[in-house]
Amino acid sequence: MVNTMKFAPIYDPSHRRPAPKPVQVDLRKVFMAGTALWALALIICSILMFLGFGHMLVKVQICAFGTAAGICLLIWEFFDRWDYRRLGADD
């Protein structure tokens, strides 16, 4: 089995196979789904906090930061969409 190993790609980069092209994905769908889940968790934790369940303030803060991060990612995706779609475009 050791006889079939090729060490040329390690020493000489010209023997390497070309890297695959990046896959084009729609980050907007991913970021919207994640933000929606954080917002749902925020609503549930807020309701539980107002009903008197203990130690919910930290959980509400975490969900609020998760929702804010998702909104920031959606804004980033809106402005940088052209850059990452260009990388995954088929030639």
The verdict on residue 41 lying in a domain is yes
Does 8 map to a domain? no
Question: In angstroms, rounded to a whole number, what is the distance separating the alpha carbons of residues 90 and 85?
Answer: 10
The residue ranking higher by pLDDT, 15 or 78, is 78
Whether residue 68 is predicted with pLDDT greater than 90 in this model: the reply is yes
Q: Is residue 10 part of a domain?
A: no
**Inside any domain, residue 18:** no
Domain count of the chain? 1
- Looking at the domain assignment, is residue 80 inside a domain? yes
Q: Is residue 34 part of a domain?
A: yes
Tokens describing residue 54: 């203990």
The parent domain of residue 34 ranges over 27-88
In DSSP notation, 21-82 reads PPPP--HHHHHHHHHHHHHHHHHHHHHHHHTT-TT-HHHHHHHHHHHHHHHHHHHHHHHHHH
Residue 13 in any domain: the answer is no
pLDDT digits (tens, 9 = 90+) for 6-52: 666 666 677 677 778 777 778 899 999 999 999 999 999 999 999 99
Residue 49 lies in a domain: yes
